[in-house]
Structure 1
Amino acid sequence: MAAPTSFLIMLYFVCGFSIALAATLNITTDQSALLALKAHISFDSQNHLTKNWSTNTSVCNWVGVICGSRHYRVRVLNLSFMGLVGELPKIGNLTMLTELYLEDNNFEGRLPLEIGNLTLLTMLYLGYNNFEGRLPAKIGNLTMLLELDLTYNNFQGMLI
Structure 2
Amino acid sequence: MAQQTSISTDQTSLLALKQHITNDPHDLLSTNWTETTSIYNWAGITRGITHGRVTSLNRAFMGLSGTLPPHLGSLSFLAYFNITNSTFHGSLPGELSRLRRVRYFSVRNNSFEGEIQQWFPWLPWLKYPFLNGNSFSSVIPESICNVSTLQKLDLSMNQLSGPITPLIFNISSLKMIDLSNNQLSGSMPSFIFSRSQLQQLIW
Scaled to the shorter chain, the TM-score interval is 0.7 to 0.9
How many equivalent pairs are there?
140
Residue equivalent to 1:10: none
Partner of 1:116, secondary structure, is: helix
More helix by share: 1
Q: Give the Cα separation in 2 of the matches to 1:139 and 1:44.
A: 29
1:105-131 Cα shifts (integer Å, max 9, x gaps): 000000000111101001001100000
Which one has a bigger Cα radius of gyration? 1
Instruction: Confirm whether residue 120 of structure 1 aligns to residue 101 of structure 2.
Output: yes
Residue equivalent to 1:98: 79
Residue 143 (structure 1) shift: 2.1
Aligned-residue CA RMSD in angstroms? Answer: 1.1
In structure 2, stretches of 5+ residues that fail to align are 144-203
Residue equivalent to 1:60: 40
Partner of 1:124, secondary structure, is: strand
Q: Give the Cα separation in 2 of the matches to 1:122 and 1:101.
A: 11
Under a length normalisation based on structure 1, what TM-score does the superposition of the two structures give?
A: 0.85
Residue 138 (structure 1) shift: 1.3
Instruction: Confirm whether residue 27 of structure 1 aligns to residue 7 of structure 2.
Output: yes
Partner of 1:66, secondary structure, is: strand
Higher RCO (Cα < 8 Å, 6 or more apart): 1
1:55-75 Cα shifts (integer Å, max 9, x gaps): 111111100000011101000
Q: Detail structure 1 runs of 4+ shifted over 6 Å in the superposition.
A: none
Instruction: Confirm whether residue 69 of structure 1 aligns to residue 46 of structure 2.
Output: no
Q: Give the Cα separation in 2 of the matches to 1:155 and 1:51.
A: 33
Match runs of 1:1-160 below 5 Å: 21-90=1-70, 91-158=72-139, 159=141
Under a length normalisation based on structure 2, what TM-score does the superposition of the two structures give?
A: 0.67
Partner of 2:119, secondary structure, is: helix
Residue equivalent to 2:180: none
Residue 145 (structure 1) shift: 1.1
Q: Give the Cα separation in 1 of the matches to 2:54 and 2:12.
A: 12
Tell me the percent identity. Answer: 37
Q: Give the Cα separation in 2 of the matches to 1:152 and 1:44.
A: 21
